[in-house]
Structure 1
Amino acid sequence: MLRSKGNLLMGSFIILLGIVLLLNSIGLVDINLEDLFSTYWPIIFIFIGARFLLNRGSTGEILSGIVFIAFGIILIGNNMDLFHINMDSFWSLLWPVILILVGINLVFGKKGNGKSNFAILGSVEKKSEKWVLKDSSFVAFWGGIELDLTLAEIPQEETIVDLTAIMGGVEIIVPEDINIECEGTAILGGVELINKSTGGIIANTSYLQKSPIPSNKTVKFYSRAILGGIEIRHKKVPVAH
């Protein structure tokens, strides 16, 4: 329902824009569309921020919503000459802050102590044959990683898997009959943990899955997506026709 409110907001804006364009085309109103667009195009950021706030998600999502709305208002105010903020100075301050956050997350966020696997301008795939899951870390940098844990031999103990996507993507398929603990951080990216997702400038989320039958198999995922995406999900069941 909350997501539908965001769709309602965006849909209403698109309808209003269509009506204005139609009235302008048939001559009932006379609007300089070039001036209109050049002045008010940052309203896109305001709508993105409003969607984050309407989702009422994590503190990070709320913060992202506020930042997007503030950014849109600043740009529109600049365009309308209501005030003047030097955008070069704004960006020169924003990017170092983002880089600091990214660095802190990479330095202090890693939990896994096992083998490191890298997909740099390439891919790492474990989805077509049996394999053994151990404590490990996976990093996708301008690349992709796909792991199918339903094919993996999972130890009867706690296993830690550390995931990092930097301008890349990671997709993990997990079985439903083991214990799963997930923690995810998104910095200008997106993280989806089973049925919980988050994204924005900086946001956090977590998910806990208890096995329907007693099991000592527990996999802990620590995920961070930086200008990239991470998805941890169950295997999709084909729809019968």
Structure 2
Amino acid sequence: MKKITFQAVLAVILIAIGVILLLETTGIYDTTHLIKYTPTLFVLFGIYAIIKSKLTNILGPLIIILFFGILQLLILNLITTTVIREWWPLIIVAIGLLILINWLQVSKIKGKETDTIDLFTMLGGHETLNTSNNFKGGNITAILGSVNIDLRDAEIKNPPATINCIVILGGAEIKIPEGWEVKNNITPILGAVEDTRLRTEKQTENKKQEITINGIVLLGGLDIKD
């Protein structure tokens, strides 16, 4: 059974919201009673992101939970705009605390040997060093944030390894060993993909080490380095 990834969960949420809105706009079914609970989906996604990251990436998800949680309470009339006007400075305090926590708990994993990756960041940063001797690939998702992965100490036994990358209003950096062959299938949309690797003779020594990078970069950037 395939592992559930951040990209899969986000895709399901977007599809569900799209279907609900489509049923409403086409008049096929009155989904008004469902639309008002849409913010809850993003709250659940934020909770999932925190659990999935094992508390290593909490800034972005907690901001999502905070924003959409307040929005949901307003829609359900559980709080009023008057309450928001009186207590809104607490939102600034909460964001400040989250930034402080994120600074104290730097999202950097050293020497991780997992064969696959599933990195997600929103409104934050994530740095990972992977040292697997059988790297297979995985997923990178950066929304209003940055993901940096260092594969220079990793090896690929069964090439090609495949990384699926989605970058929206953010950035990603992938560092690979000299000599790895890269198949770049990234589609940039108002964004940029740069391969800044140095070309050396070492590229001919390790031809079996191949990696394929798929995905999209929307209003962001992806940099491939060695």
| TM-score relative to the length of structure 2 | 0.39
| TM-score relative to the length of structure 1 | 0.38
Greater Cα radius of gyration, structure 1 or 2: 1
